[in-house]
Amino acid sequence: MKYLSILLLFSLFLSCNSTANENNTDQLSPLEKLKAGNENFTSGHLIHPNQTPVRINELKGGQHPFAVIVSCSDSRLSPELIFDQGLGDLFSIRTAGNVIGDLELGSIEYAVEHLHCKLVVVLGHENCGAIQAYAASTEKKHNDHIQNIIDYIADEEEEKNVPDSLKSNIDFLVMANIAHGVNVLKESEPVLKSLVDKNELTIVGAYYDLDNGHVIFK
Ligand SMILES: [Zn+2]
């Protein structure tokens, strides 16, 4: 039931986005790799790939990660763990609330332009503390830099468009925040938008369920 409601929320906020790498039959696409890794994680059949001295040696000369993961800093959803990946597989950008400013954009552009990642995932999660702080922000102002994160989220059009009746629904607010991240990246000039328009880059949203470890992609 939870899975269906999360998919429904995704359908409200994000349009379908199917692009490159889906027709490769002799190996998994980046998105398929993440889905398979999360299946390993949730089923308890972890492979723990690419975590040996051999892999360290392979990576001495450079890195070729297959996906960029823009996720919340929350300690319960480390990308390499929940997607059963190893060293050199994922290029991670992590901030509380998976908020994306110019510095994060620069990191993403580096991974896409110079490391040739073809997939960017914006990964939010159930009961995100940053979103909960935003939801409570009318009652409490933080006298520190946490307030900057709250102000960023409050300024998102997707959050402003959430109906008043749903502003206490944390899942709904999380989905709006994920949608914002995806929309920001898809419209980002001069790098990401042009690659998306040419079907050379896929940008998707994803939601991590703290109850069972499943990642739901849109
Ligand atoms: Zn969070």
Q: What is the pTM of this model?
A: 0.90
DSSP code per residue over 49-99: -S-SHHHHHHGGG----SEEEEEE--TT--HHHHTT--TTTEEEEEEGGG-
Percentage helix, strand, coil for the chain under 3-state DSSP, each rounded to 5 = 45, 15, 40
> How close is the Cα of 15 to the center of ligand 1, in Å?
23
pLDDT in tens, 157-209: 999 999 999 999 999 999 999 999 999 999 999 999 999 999 999 999 999 99
> How close is the Cα of 147 to the center of ligand 1, in Å?
15
Label residue 142 by pLDDT band (50, 70, 90). confident
Residues shown for the chain: 218
> How close is the Cα of 6 to the center of ligand 1, in Å?
16
Taking residues 77-83, what's their average pLDDT?
98
What amino acid occupies position 173?
L
Alpha-carbon span 163 to 18, nearest angstrom: 29
> How close is the Cα of 191 to the center of ligand 1, in Å?
27
> How close is the Cα of 150 to the center of ligand 1, in Å?
12
Taking residues 85-89, what's their average pLDDT?
98
Alpha-carbon span 215 to 35, nearest angstrom: 8
Burial track 156-173 (b if 16+ CB lie within 10 A, e otherwise): bebbeebeeeeeeebbbb
Determine the pLDDT at residue 1: 57
Please answer whether residues 135 and 218 qualify as being in contact, where contact means their C-beta atoms are separated by less than 8 angstroms: no
> How close is the Cα of 76 to the center of ligand 1, in Å?
9
Please answer whether residues 125 and 77 qualify as being in contact, where contact means their C-beta atoms are separated by less than 8 angstroms: yes
Residue that has been written with the tokens 């994306």 in this structure: 100
The tokens for 20 are 């490159």
Label residue 138 by pLDDT band (50, 70, 90). confident
Label residue 20 by pLDDT band (50, 70, 90). very low
Taking residues 16-28, what's their average pLDDT?
47
Higher pLDDT, 139 or 67: 67
Per-chain mean pLDDT for the chain: 92
